[in-house]
């Protein structure tokens, strides 16, 4: 059975990420989405919150025969350790633009050095999601913009529910 680990911050998961999950599931028997718990960036959602939202999004947006082959875990530390732990021989990453390439290439070499048996497989982003990034979504949500075309409903609902709490500058009135 082929298993691929798809690591990332997913803060929050976007349709671009989900598209990579769906396509990876056509290639691998199982896809383990691994949510980085402690990201260097200030996270919008805690690691286990992010994992819960991804589970909901996968179940709501992907066909059942795909969704049941996708598991969601969170991790800290080295990607290759997480891959070993979950029995994955492959690490999946998405490439949006040339700008992604340099750091992804470096990371793939680094991981190969640490764990030669684990290979990194890249999927080119679908054209319609090439502009999408979690940080862009956060920025738009922060200013009350509509992110429904960019993220699964599970994420949009969560962003709306927490918008007042997260972004208000003062105590609620009334
Ligand atoms: P990280 O903080 O590790 O870069 P991200 O959550 O930002 O984590 O991204 C995880 C992976 O998904 C990366 O390989 C990234 O290039 C890829 N990715 C991010 N956005 C998109 C998108 N719109 N289309 C395809 N792949 C994407």
Q: Where are the domains of the chain?
A: 3-164
**pLDDT tens readout for residues 11-24:** 999 999 999 999 99
Q: How many CA atoms lie within 13 A of 6 on its CB side?
A: 29
Q: State the pLDDT confidence band at 31, using cuts at 50, 70 and 90.
A: very high
Separate counts of helices (H) and strands (E) for the chain? 7, 5
- Residue 36 CA to residue 52 CA, distance in Å, equals 13
List, for residues 140-159, the tens digit of each pLDDT value. 988 889 999 999 999 999 88
Residue 23 backbone zone (phi > 0: left; psi -120 to 50: alpha; other: beta): alpha
Ligand 1 mutation target, pool 4, 6, 8, 51, most atoms within 8 A of CB: 8
State pTM to two decimals.
Answer: 0.91
Distance CA 27, CA 3 (A): 10
CA atoms within 13 A on the CB side of 102: 2
d(CA 149, CA 14): 9
Strands ordered across the beta sheet of 119-124: 70-75, 30-36, 3-8, 90-95, 119-124
Minimal-distance CA residue to ligand 1 atom 9: 8
| Domain 3-164: CATH superfamily, name plus number | HUPs (3.40.50.620)
17 is catalytic: yes
Active-site residue identified among 41, 68, 109, 148? 41
């Amino acid at each position: 059975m082929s298993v691929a680990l798809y690591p990332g911050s997913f803060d929050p998961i976007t349709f671009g990420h989900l598209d990579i999950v769906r396509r990876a599931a056509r290639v691998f028997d199982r896809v383990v989405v691994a949510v980085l718990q402690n990201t260097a960036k200030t996270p919008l959602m805690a690691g286990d919150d992010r994992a819960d939202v991804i589970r909901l999004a996968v179940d709501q947006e992907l066909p059942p025969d795909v969704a049941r082959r996708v598991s969601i875990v969170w991790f800290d530390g080295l990607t290759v350790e997480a891959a070993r732990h979950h029995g994955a021989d492959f690490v999946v990453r998405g490439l949006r633009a040339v700008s992604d390439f340099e750091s992804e290439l470096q990371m793939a070499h680094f991981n190969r050095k640490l764990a030669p048996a684990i290979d990194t497989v890249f999927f080119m982003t679908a054209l319609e999601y090439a502009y999408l990034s979690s940080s862009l979504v956060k920025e738009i949500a922060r200013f009350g913009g509509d992110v429904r075309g960019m993220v699964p409903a599970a994420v949009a609902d969560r962003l709306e529910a927490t918008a007042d709490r997260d972004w208000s500058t003062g105590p609620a009135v009334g």
